């Protein structure tokens, strides 16, 4: 962070001016948004004493689940409890204060909803850790208590194992959330890109989609990333500092 105070103020005013010209604003968020609530991404698992010996890309995969379902569920239960103990941060709260903004998020936690975003205006591209679903896709789904997660159990409809309703490596994105996100990004006057390195496709392609259809792209991240090249404007720093000033 090398921006001086006056540079920072000028950047903020420019960004506010950009948003003021926009009727439809869509926010596309990633792990950086929830990181400021203390939620680590699975990539940070390696820093945890208990879980560092496991490969998170394997834990979050159908192959890992087939090999050792209890291990995978125990890992998710650990993550669920961390989310239960976290609170929405200033960025979540600033976003929730603007119900006109559509939320497209790669985060599987419920912090946007807990900050006050209406569930119907939040599209979870990578699913929801708040729910279990039938691994055999019989259609069964159930909300779980994040603070007291249920452990490995069977589907009451078909007896296949239940698993978190999140997208694992090698799995396709939830169709409804993806279609809605595409539609919103295509018609956005401005896409706010928050806390994502824009390295995971197809989600990162949404930024390109907004640009292709003539929308502006405003990126907020703690450091330059893959999204920088597509940005009409970029604010470097914690989203919990920028967003309350930008959206108030
Ligand atoms: Zn089932």
pLDDT tens digits, one per residue of 223-242: 998 889 899 999 999 999 99
What CATH fold (topology level) applies to the domain 1-37+87-126+173-248?
Rossmann fold (3.40.50)
Contact 190, 28 (CB under 8 A): no
Domain boundaries, the chain: 1-37+87-126+173-248, 40-85+128-166
Distance 159 CA to ligand 1 centre (A): 6
Q: Of the spans 1-10, 44-53, 77-86, which averages the highest pLDDT?
A: 77-86
Determine the Cα–Cα distance for residues 164 and 142; give it in Å rounded to an integer: 10
Q: For the whole prediction, is pTM greater than 0.75? A: yes
Q: What is the CATH number of domain 40-85+128-166?
A: 3.30.1600.10
Residue 217, pLDDT > 90, answer: yes
pLDDT score recorded for residue 3:
56
Lowest mean pLDDT among 11-20, 63-72, 154-163, 193-202: 193-202
Annotated catalytic residue within 126, 131, 135, 184 = 126
Distance 71 CA to ligand 1 centre (A): 20
Distance 178 CA to ligand 1 centre (A): 23
Distance 141 CA to ligand 1 centre (A): 8
Known catalytic membership, residue 126? yes
Determine the Cα–Cα distance for residues 31 and 35; give it in Å rounded to an integer: 6
pLDDT tens digits, one per residue of 106-137: 999 999 999 999 999 999 999 999 999 999 99
Q: Can the peptide bond before residue 202 be classed as cis, meaning omega within 30 degrees of 0?
A: yes
């Amino acid at each position: 962070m090398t921006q001086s105070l006056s540079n920072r103020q000028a950047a903020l005013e420019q960004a506010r001016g950009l948003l003021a010209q926009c009727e439809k604003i869509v926010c596309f968020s990633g792990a950086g948004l929830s990181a400021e609530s203390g939620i680590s991404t699975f990539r940070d698992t390696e820093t945890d004493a208990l879980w560092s010996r496991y490969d998170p890309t394997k834990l979050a995969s159908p192959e890992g689940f087939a090999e050792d379902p209890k291990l995978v569920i125990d890992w998710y239960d650990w993550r669920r409890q961390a989310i239960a103990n976290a609170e929405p941060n200033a960025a979540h709260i600033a976003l929730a204060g603007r119900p006109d903004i559509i939320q497209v998020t790669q985060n599987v936690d419920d912090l946007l909803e807990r900050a006050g975003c209406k569930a119907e205006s939040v599209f979870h591209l990578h699913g929801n850790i708040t729910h279990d679903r039938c691994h055999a896709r019989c259609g069964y789904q159930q909300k779980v208590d994040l603070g007291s997660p249920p452990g490995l159990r069977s589907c009451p409809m078909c007896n296949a194992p239940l698993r978190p309703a999140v997208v694992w490596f090698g799995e396709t994105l939830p169709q409804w959330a993806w279609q809605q996100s595409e539609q919103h990004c295509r018609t956005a006057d401005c896409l706010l890109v928050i806390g994502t390195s824009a390295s995971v496709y197809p989600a990162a392609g949404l930024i390109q989609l907004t640009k292709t259809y003539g929308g502006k792209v405003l990126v907020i991240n703690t450091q330059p990333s893959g999204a920088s090249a597509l940005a009409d404007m970029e604010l470097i720093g914690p989203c919990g500092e920028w967003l309350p000033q930008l959206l108030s």
